[in-house]
Amino acid sequence: MKLKNPFVKPSTRAFWDEARSVPGYSFFDFLHGYVYGRWPYLYIGIGVGKHPLAKWFVPLSGWFNKLVTRKKDDEPTESKIGFADTYHGKAVPLETAKKLVLINEEIKIPDLEQVIPYKRARSIIMKNPDHIVVLDCPCRSARENPCLPLDVCLIVGDPFASFIREHQPGRSRWITRDEAIAILQAEDERGHVHHAFFKDAMLDRFYAICNCCECCCGAMQAHRTGTPMLASSGYLSQVDEDLCIGCSDCNSYCQFGALEVVDGVNQVNYEKCMGCGVCISKCEHGALSLVTDESKGIPLEICALMDKAMLMK
């Protein structure tokens, strides 16, 4: 089925055409993605409970969760797909986030099961990767006293960038890769966490890099209250006790509350640390570093993944 209505925007047609090629992607998924991209401030505002309509949607939340759950009656419980599997982010250090916006060729990595530990939305398929839009953050916009600036959400590649730009002309703009890098750098200096976001309704794939703070971010709020919407970067912050003076200057920047001075030396809470790397540059003494930890997951090393995908062609 083609969308031939003259009132349908070109980016909506492109979104639909792309959706038709995604295995298992239903028309309901498309409608979900359209609503999410067309009215993100309504969608996220209700999601974080800050929109006036939120109270009317609470009774419908159970029904909606059933719609986004993919499990047949005769399937085992472990095959059930919950809400956290449909919309989630992977923490990425600054250098990884930079590489995601510097991709200069179309790529297709259809399944990152080891890297992205969710049952859906774990592909990186990018068309026109140089098409980057910065959007006013819906999470921050929903708050009464948000962190600033608002324009920190990076939508990367098509059909997503063009769709957001066409449907959110007043709250988005096209930017260059250099401008995207500058936004990432500035947010990192503010102590905000970079997340590569994936969503089932967004064609089961990566579509954005969000720069998140614990006070505004809906995903971090959900994660903090027990909904596992965020995946570790695959790294763990490590303290060099010979260099640490226990000043705790870096601790206030940790968005996950994973650092605490004990007996005069900083300690990393293994369970809380997501390996985002924000704390590293905040230590003037060089006492913090990131180390890989397989039990925390596998890093999203996009260049290595691209090389592997090329070898498999």
Tell whether 192 and 264 lie within a shared domain.
Answer: no
Per the domain annotation, does 185 fall within a domain?
Answer: yes
Tell whether 253 and 208 lie within a shared domain.
Answer: no
Tell whether 40 and 154 lie within a shared domain.
Answer: yes
Tell whether 22 and 111 lie within a shared domain.
Answer: yes
Per the domain annotation, does 130 fall within a domain?
Answer: yes
Tell whether 63 and 50 lie within a shared domain.
Answer: yes
pLDDT at 196: 98
Per the domain annotation, does 178 fall within a domain?
Answer: yes
Tell whether 168 and 75 lie within a shared domain.
Answer: yes
- DSSP per-residue string spanning the chain: -----TTS-HHHHHHHHHHTTSTT--HHHHHHHHHHHHSHHHHHHHHTT-STTHHHHGGGHHHHHHHH----TTS-GGG---GGGTEEEEEE-HHHHHHHH---S-EEE---TTTS-SSS--BEEEEEEEEEEEEE-HHHHTSSS--S-SEEEEEEEETHHHHHHHH-TTSEEEE-HHHHHHHHHHHHHTTPEEEEEEETTTTTEEEEEEEE-TTT-HHHHHHHTT---EE--SEEEEE-TTT-----TTGGG-TT--EEEETTEEEE-TTT-----TTGGG-TT--EEEEE-GGG-----HHHHHHHHHHT-
Tell whether 17 and 49 lie within a shared domain.
Answer: yes
Phi/psi region, residue 49 (left: phi>0; alpha: psi -120 to 50; beta: rest), is left
Per the domain annotation, does 5 fall within a domain?
Answer: no
Per-residue pLDDT of the chain (313 residues; tens, 9 = 90+): 555 566 789 999 999 999 999 999 999 999 999 999 999 998 888 877 776 665 555 544 444 455 555 544 444 555 567 778 889 999 999 999 999 999 999 999 999 999 999 999 999 999 999 999 999 999 999 999 999 999 999 999 999 999 999 999 999 999 999 999 999 999 999 999 999 999 999 999 999 999 999 999 999 999 999 989 999 999 999 999 999 999 999 999 999 999 999 999 999 999 999 999 999 999 999 999 999 999 999 999 999 999 888 777 6
- The number of folded domains in the chain is 2
Tell whether 82 and 189 lie within a shared domain.
Answer: yes
The sign one gets for the Cα dihedral 238, 220, 137, 103 is positive
Tell whether 222 and 273 lie within a shared domain.
Answer: no
pLDDT at 309: 81
Containing structural domain, residue 165: 10-232+299-311
Tell whether 244 and 305 lie within a shared domain.
Answer: no
Q: Please report, for the domain that includes residue 260, its CATH number.
A: 3.30.70.20
Tell whether 46 and 195 lie within a shared domain.
Answer: yes
Tell whether 193 and 103 lie within a shared domain.
Answer: yes
Per the domain annotation, does 2 fall within a domain?
Answer: no
Per the domain annotation, does 146 fall within a domain?
Answer: yes
